[in-house]
Every structure is written in structure tokens, then in C-alpha cells.
A and B are shown apart, each in its own frame.
Chain A
Amino acid sequence: TQLLEQSPQFLSIQEGENLTVYCNSSSVFSSLQWYRQEPGEGPVLLVTVVTGGEVKKLKRLTFQFGDARKDSSLHITAAQPGDTGLYLCAGEGLEYGNKLVFGAGTILRVKS
């Protein structure tokens, strides 16, 4: 059983469309991070959210941490081909020690 359920697993959309990726858990996390990874490279941190209800924006990307700190979402507005990649959510919590718990990932493909 995945500790962090990430959905959808795969998303193929046209340039200009909007999309949302979800990350859900039954556990409470002290912080949650979103990463983007391209093939053959390591994950690159996009954002860290730590406060319940927190919303962070990074250009066309909007990240939200649930009020109960059990879930998070990533919304991309007007997706571009350069957004193509593997998006990973990862959480940290007391019950997991100092380890990051990763979701299964969402493969995003944006077609021009």
C-alpha cells in the first residue's frame, strides 16, 4: 500500500490545457514537497509546503497543502511542452523519522 496516493499516474494533454495532480494520504505530514524529474536526471525540488491550507505559486504552477496536512495538489495553468516530465510528491512526518515518503509519481506529457 502506497503511503502517499498520487493521481493520475499518467496524463497526456494538449498545450494550453490546465491540469491538476493530487497527492493523498491518511497520515499527517509535517511538510510536503513536490519534485519534477526528467528522464536520466535526478528530481528537482519545486516547492515545500508546511502549513495546513497553505497555497504557493510558482509562475503557472499552484501548490496547495490541505487544511489537515494529509493531502496536496499541484495545478498547472496553460501547460506547455516544457512541463513534460515526472512529477513526484513526497512527505515528511514524525512517524517516518527523517525519511521522505514518495508518491508513485505522475507522468505528464504535454503535446504541442
Chain B
Amino acid sequence: GAVVSQHPSWVICKSGTSVKIECRSLDFQATTMFWYRQFPKQSLMLMATSNEGSKATYEQGVEKDKFLINHASLTLSTLTVTSAHPEDSSFYICSARDPLEGTEQYFGPGTRLTVT
């Protein structure tokens, strides 16, 4: 099956700094990637849809200036949390869709962000 990786797997940063999280499709080209946020023992909340070569589409209530998404290539999307605050601490998960495999999404292992 398709493999999606995320880096880093966990990160601790100080309040006010920015953090970049990478999402890569390892064995397929992903024209569309998705970024989710998940709080403990809760479901996934879609933050934005990232399309290669174009601007990301953000869900209602998600600040696009705070969560910068770049999908510059068919195998890499990045999420940058700018001026992070403790309330941004969460588990961030990306997923990618292989256009040759239909509509299934393949999820990365997630990135645990802790803002102190």
C-alpha cells in the first residue's frame, strides 16, 4: 500500500516561534494532501486541503495566516505553524490521495507538537 511519512514525529517549541511539519508521499505522487488536527481521545478535524501548485483550501475557522501550507511538489506538502502558542499544541496528521488508487486517503504517522 501507499506510504506517507511525516517529519518530525514530535517537536517541542517555545511560544512565539514557528514550526514546520513535512508530509511526504514515498511511493506515489499526490496531487492532493490533507492536513488534520487531533486532540486527545477525539476524532480528526480537517484543517485544510493542499493541492499541488495552487493555494490550499482552508476549513472554516482555521486561520490561513497562522497555518501556512505549501504543496510545491507532487510528493511534499508542508504545514508551518507560525507564532505558535500553547493552545496550538496538538497532534497534526497529514494524508495523501494517490490518484491512481481511487479516492482512498493514506495517513501519515502524525506529528506531536508541544508549545511551551
Contacts and interface: CB of A to CB of B under 8 A. Distances in A.
- Chains A and B belong together in one complex: yes
Interface of A: 31, 33, 35, 40-45, 48, 86, 88, 92, 98-100, 102-105, 107
A92 to B, nearest CB: 6
B110 A48 contact: no
B41 to A, nearest CB: 6
Chain B interface size band reads 20 to 34
Nearest to B59: A99
Given A40-B91, A42-B93, 13 more contacts: A31-B103, A40-B112, A41-B109, A42-B4, A42-B6, A42-B107, A43-B44, A43-B107, A100-B95, A100-B105, A102-B46, A103-B43, A105-B41
Given A41-B110, A99-B49, A107 B41 contact: yes
B32 interface: yes
Contact of B44 (A41, A44, A88): A88
A103 B103 CA distance: 18
Interface in B57-116: 91, 93, 95, 97, 103-110, 112
Contacts of B105: 45, 100
Given A48-B104, A104-B42, A42 B49 contact: no
A17 to B, nearest CB: 22
A48 B104 CA distance: 8
B93 A100 contact: no
A36 to B, nearest CB: 11
B21 to A, nearest CB: 13
A32 to B, nearest CB: 11
B104 A44 contact: no
B34 A86 contact: no
A33 B41 contact: no
Contacts of B4: 42
Given A98-B32, A99-B46, A86 B108 contact: no
Contacts of B49: 98-99
B43 A99 contact: no
Nearest to A4: B43
